[in-house]
Every structure is written in C-alpha cells, then in structure tokens.
Amino acid sequence: MNKAKYITTPIYYLNGKPHLGHAYTTIIGDVLKRTFELRGESVFYTTGTDEHGQKNSEKIAKLNISFDEYVEKYSANFKKLFTDLNVKYDFFAQTSFTKHKEIVCKCLQIVYDKGLIIKKKYVGLYCTGCEQFKKESDLDKDGQCPDHQTKPIELSEENYFLQLEPYRQWLVDYINQNPNWIQPINFKNEVLGMLKTPLDDLCISRPRNRVPLGIEMPFDKDYIVYIWFDALINYISNLDWPNDIAKFNKYWTNAIHLMAKDIIKPHCVYWPIILKSLDLPLPKNIMVHGFLVGEGGIKMSKSLGNIIDPEEIINEIGVDAFRFILLYLTNVSKDTQISKNIIYKTYDLLANNLGNLCFRIYKLIEKCNDGVISNPNINSEDQNFINQISAILKDIIYKTEAISDISINSSNLLKVCSDINTYINEKQPWILVKDNKKREELMSVLYVLSEGMRMLAISLNPIMPTISCKILSSMDYDISQTPIEKAFELRKLENFKMKNIGILFPKLETIQEDK
Ligand code: MSP
C-alpha cells in the first residue's frame, strides 16, 4: 500500500505581513506531517507564497522596489514565521520560480490544444482583494465583497476563458461518490450549493496592460495568466509534474490540501476541473477550517486593534504552547473567536495541567524513591489504568487523519493529564511511602506514573515537539531512535534514575498583570 502523503497549505499572498490565520493553517499541516511521520509514513509538506497578480503589483508600485527585491524581502517574512513556529516544511513554493512558470505554461498549452479555452469579451464586477470576478449574488447588501468590505470595480475586457459548465455534473457526481473528499461536511455542502446552478466560464487571463505582473500566456503575449490558475498549479509543480512522474505518482494519490473556508471555490470547483482537463486525478482530500476572528466575531484588523501578531505571542509564551493553544481553542467547522486574553488563560490551563503534572510526577518519584524507577509487579488496577490511558494516547498517533482530529487530540491530551492527576490523588503515594508493607504498591504507582508521562510526551510530540523531547530526555528516551510500535508498550526499567524536568511553562508575570 502506498503510504506516502502530500500535505499542502495555500500559498499566501506576499503583500502583507504574515498573521495568525497563516500561522494556524501552517501549524495544522506541520502537526499532521509530524503525526504521520511518527507512525512511519513518508510525507512531503509544502507551503509558500503567491507572488503575481494585481495585489502584489500594487504593493510593489507603492514600495517602489524591484520585483526581485520584493519577493526576497516579503517571502523572508513568511519563512521566518514558519521557522519560528517550528514548522518542518519540505518545500517552499514560490510562483516566481522558473520551473513553476514553465509548468503553468505547459498546463495551459495542453488545455488550449484540447480546445477547452475560448477568447471572448466579458463585462463584470471584479474584486481585487479576491482577484476574482463577482456576481451580484456574491456581494452583501451594500454591494460590497463580504470578505474584503470593498465595492468591486466594473471591468470590461477581452480575455481567455476555461469552460467549467461541461464538467459540473461530473464534479457533483464525484463529490457525492466521495463523501469525505471535502471535509468537514458543512463545507462539502457549501460546495454542492455552488454547483446547483450553471457555472460561468472561468476567466484565466488578464490583459498585460492592466495587470503586468505574472506569467505570460504561452499562446498570446498580450496576456498574463490569471493568478488563481497560476497559483493552483503549484500543487503539481511542487512535485515537478510532468518531469518527475515517479515523484508525482508517489505523492499525488495521497494529497491533502489544507485551507480556510475563504478559498473553497477555487479549490473545490476550479481546481478539480483544471485537473480533469489535464487528465489528472484529483487530490485525496480537501480539508477546510473556519476563520480565526477577533473578539465579538469581528474580523481581525489593524484599525480595530484586535490583530494578534503570532511572533509577539511566541515571544511571550513560547512556540510549543502557542501551537497547542491555537489547536485546542479551535473547532474546524466553525469560526473561532480569539484574543490575547483567551490565549493567556489557556496558557494558565496548560501550565496548571500538563506543566504541573510533569513536575508533580518527577517530584513524587524523587521524594518517594530518590528518583529511581524499576519495573515492579504491577497490580491489576494499575495495569488497567495504564492500559486505558495508553489506548487514548496511541489513538492520537494512529487514528489521526484530518484537521478535526487534531483539535480533539489536544483536548484528549489535557484529559489524560487530568486522569493521571486523579489517579495520583486516589493512590496517594505520599501515604504509601510511609508504610514498608506497601512498598510494592508504591513502586507499581511510581512506575505507572513515569510510563504514563512517557506515553503522554510521545503523543504530545507532533503538537509540542520541544516540550515533548524535554520530558522524554528526563527519561533518556529518544523518540527518533525507538520504533513507534514499542512506544505504547511498558518498558523494562532497572533502577532507572529520572532527571529533573524543570519548569515547562514559566509563570508570565507581565502577562498576568495585563489580564
Ligand atoms: N494566494 C491565495 C491562495 C492560493 S492557493 C493555490 C490566498 N492567499 S491568502 O494569503 O489570502 O491566504 C488565505 C489562507 O490563509 C486561508 O485559506 C487560510 O489558510 C489562511 N488564513 C488567512 N486568514 C485566516 C483567518 N483569519 N483564519 C484562519 N485562516 C486564515 O488566498
């Protein structure tokens, strides 16, 4: 069975500073990648930047710098954020790469030669924010684009179009026959709604004199390629299709596209039809999440002062806590309100549960047995307890397939922390230590605690890689050197001396004052 997976994030527009939303999708991809890799699957994970089109062109004009300088400077912001977020991407896609541009042209030529592209005059409303033509029905009651809160401009021009309507029924059938293709289900239903009425032809070019920045159409030098056609192709140019068919075949059948709900139309309507017109199979899944919004459900914006800068939060609470908190707070099928206050409160929760638990376990083992653990005869009650939590922790690694699993995993991790805390309170090792006849019982509890903490740290690894390794190193456990099949089995320990874990989540004095 082909176990290789390919995970993609959208390629982000270069024109702004990367923000919380970009961080969120990219962290999700990283957690999926780390989870799959932990269970031995090979993963190719890509993110990147979308560098052509009107938005970027306007920004370059404003900055009065060259395209090359712009691309270098602005893509560096995204690369820095992803490094600071500890994201292990395998390839950073940039639409200005020569190879990508050549592949876009190849695709267009194939579709053009098949007679699927027509040239015609079009009059319509155009939203620069979306880089898309809009229908009246797409706009709000004030005639504005709901996502950008701006009125689209009226445009009349001759362009090249890809016909979508001939593929509409095929796409509806595909979605119905593959009910998990678009996840979660509410977004699948939204796409089926878009496919209820005939599809307009997709304008795939822009006159060079209006939008000069982009790839030249291979069959007409007066036009450049529409930014969405250009950008979507990154998903196959990253795999070097059609030059490296082996690589493409290895990864494409298990491709997962991640994104927020804003761009489901290009991904769930345009992209499958482009692939079909290229005679290519569709990606395995489109996984969608809701928006992160400011307090009161209001979109984050600079003017409202409710923007959250991911770099600022990472500096305050550390990257691992930041990654965990974002996943813990969100529900993929809905929008999630987020504020600094909610983040700090969740940090406290994390410190009080996971942080205190690990320290408590270390301290108990140290106080009750000088920090030494051996595997004793575990009594059946303790065995049942460790079996129960190891089953939950194992599922976190083995059963994760989708974005929705990741949010559930983060809650389950905290639940396991509280289960272990309850177990400690019930077993009361500080009482057992006082009675020599209870020595065997005490050793069983200490062993279960240390093994429980080890398994917890393993399942935590994809979300909090650094903290997980910190916990594991106190037990001389190298996650990269131990086969995952053995990870959730009890270890043999012979007078093993545990090291101090230290404080995992320091108290944040300055932040406490802000609350
Ligand atoms: N360039 C296109 C994508 C082309 S992909 C072939 C684009 N870029 S974007 O910079 O606007 O990025 C949109 C994506 O950023 C969303 O789909 C989502 O992944 C992420 N987010 C941006 N803002 C977000 C929120 N407020 N909340 C959650 N995710 C958001 O569209």
Q: How high is the pLDDT of residue 9? A: 98
Run of H or E including 92: strand 91-94
- Return the ∠ at Cα 504 (arms to 501 and 509), rounded to 5°: 135
Q: Tell me what the pLDDT averaged over the chain comes to.
A: 94
Best residue among 28, 50, 293 to mutate for probing ligand 1, ranked by most atoms within 8 Å of CB: 50
Q: Are 195 and 248 in contact (CB under 8 A)?
A: no
Q: How far is CA 139 from CA 89, 148, 156, 179, 419, in A?
A: 36, 10, 19, 29, 50
Run of H or E including 125: strand 117-127
Q: How far is CA 367 from the centre of its chain?
A: 42
Please write the tens of the pLDDT for every residue from 416-442: 999 999 999 999 999 999 999 999 999
A 10 A CB-CB count for 317 gives 22
Q: Name the closest-CA residue to atom 25, ligand 1.
A: 21
Q: Is the bond into 242 cis (omega within 30 degrees of 0)?
A: yes
- CA pair distance 132, 129, nearest whole angstrom: 8
Distance of CA 291 from the midpoint of ligand 1 (Å) = 9
Please identify every residue annotated as catalytic: 19, 22, 127, 130, 145, 148, 299, 302
What is the rounded average pLDDT of the residues 166-177?
A: 98
Distance of CA 147 from the midpoint of ligand 1 (Å) = 11
Q: Is the pLDDT of residue 293 over 80?
A: yes
Structure tokens at 444: 């069983």
Please write the tens of the pLDDT for every residue from 435-464: 999 999 999 999 999 999 999 999 999 999
Please write the tens of the pLDDT for every residue from 97-114: 999 999 999 999 999 999
Least confident of 12-16, 258-262, 313-317: 12-16
Q: Is the pLDDT of residue 513 over 70?
A: no
Q: Are 191 and 264 in contact (CB under 8 A)?
A: yes
Q: Is 24 touching ligand 1 by the criterion CB < 6 Å?
A: yes
What residue type is 116 in one-letter code?
L
Q: How high is the pLDDT of residue 63? A: 96
Pairing of strands 255-260, 220-225: unpaired
Structure tokens at 375: 């595997």
Q: Which of 157, 171, 168, 234 is nearest to 201 (CA)?
A: 168
Q: How high is the pLDDT of residue 515? A: 41
What are the backbone dihedrals phi and psi of residue 45, each rounded to the nearest 5 degrees, phi first?
-120, 125
Q: Is 25 touching ligand 1 by the criterion CB < 6 Å?
A: yes
Structure tokens at 462: 């994809």
Q: Are 146 and 262 in contact (CB under 8 A)?
A: no
Q: Name the closest-CA residue to atom 29, ligand 1.
A: 21
- CA pair distance 104, 215, nearest whole angstrom: 8
What is the rounded average pLDDT of the residues 400-429?
A: 96
> Of residues 141 and 248, which shows the higher confidence score?
248
Beta bridge partners, 292, equal 336
Coil, strand or helix at 482: coil
- CA pair distance 326, 343, nearest whole angstrom: 8
Run of H or E including 183: strand 182-183
Q: What is the DSSP letter of 64?
A: T
Q: How high is the pLDDT of residue 301? A: 67
Q: Is 292 touching ligand 1 by the criterion CB < 6 Å?
A: yes
Q: Are 278 and 310 in contact (CB under 8 A)?
A: no
Q: Give DSSP secondary structure letters for 288-304.
A: EE--EE-GGGPPP-TTT
Q: Are 226 and 216 in contact (CB under 8 A)?
A: no
Q: Is 241 touching ligand 1 by the criterion CB < 6 Å?
A: no
Q: How high is the pLDDT of residue 210? A: 85
Q: Name the closest-CA residue to atom 9, ligand 1.
A: 12
Q: Is the pLDDT of residue 2 over 70?
A: no
Q: Which residues contact 388 (CB under 8 A, 6 or more apart)?
A: 419
Please write the tens of the pLDDT for every residue from 459-504: 999 999 999 999 999 999 999 888 898 999 999 999 999 999 999 9
Q: Is 233 exposed, middle or buried (0-12, 13-18, 19+ CB in 10 A)?
A: buried
Q: Is 10 touching ligand 1 by the criterion CB < 6 Å?
A: yes
Q: How high is the pLDDT of residue 146? A: 85
Please write the tens of the pLDDT for every residue from 68-96: 999 999 999 999 999 999 999 999 999 99
Q: Which residues contact 354 (CB under 8 A, 6 or more apart)?
A: 413, 414, 417, 456, 460, 504, 505
Q: Is the pLDDT of residue 155 over 70?
A: yes
Sign of CA dihedral 198, 199, 201, 203: positive
Please write the tens of the pLDDT for every residue from 322-378: 999 999 999 889 999 999 999 999 999 999 999 999 999 999 999 999 999 988 889
- CA pair distance 129, 55, nearest whole angstrom: 7
Atom of ligand 1 nearest to the CA of 266: 6
Q: Is 272 touching ligand 1 by the criterion CB < 6 Å?
A: no
Distance of CA 260 from the midpoint of ligand 1 (Å) = 6
Q: How high is the pLDDT of residue 511? A: 52
- CA pair distance 459, 462, nearest whole angstrom: 7
Q: Is 21 touching ligand 1 by the criterion CB < 6 Å?
A: yes
